[in-house]
Structure 1
Amino acid sequence: MSAEIVNLRQVRKQRKRTDKEKQAEDNRRKFGRTKAERDDARRRREHLENQVESHRLPGPGSSSETETD
């Protein structure tokens, strides 16, 4: 009857890798978004910024006003 020889260093490293992968998977579920979701959010943000910018009134001292003396 012989016991299986176990290298404790390798077991610790494997356990650490497994724990790290589990943590990464949890983080992906919590915080991750797909590339399509990020692109869609970026397009929406740019569209809204363009809308706001196009409705902005010219301020004092802008070059669109003409001065007459």
Structure 2
Amino acid sequence: MSDIVNLRQFKKRKARDEKEKAAAENRIRHGRTGAEKKFEREQARKTGEFLDRNRLDPATPHPGKAGDEDA
């Protein structure tokens, strides 16, 4: 004889297993370690500082800018 299976419980267990499998895939795909996050923040800070230090003065005209009158 085979065991009697409660279909409601079977469906719920199957849904939980699928949800856990999707969560595990998302953790692998989107998860980052604290060191990786810190490195990315540091790189963004350094890039911002570099751009700020090398910013052109907005008062000086840019040589390739369209609409220059001296051309």
One fold, TM greater than 0.5?
Answer: yes
1:11 aligned residue: 10
Shift of 1:31: 2.7
1:60 aligned residue: 59
For 1:1-69, what aligned pairs fall within 5 Å after superposition?
Answer: 3-60=2-59
Q: Which runs of 5+ in 1 are unaligned?
A: 62-69
Q: Which runs of 5+ in 2 are unaligned?
A: 61-71
Q: Provide the alpha-carbon RMSD of the alignment.
A: 2.0
Query: Structure 1 residue runs of 4+, over 6 Å off?
Result: none
Q: The residue matched to 1:16 in structure 2 has which SS?
A: helix
Aligned length: 60
Shift of 1:3: 4.5
Length-normalised TM-score, structure 2: 0.67
Amino acid in the other structure paired with 2:52: E
CA distance in 2, matches of 1:15, 1:39: 38
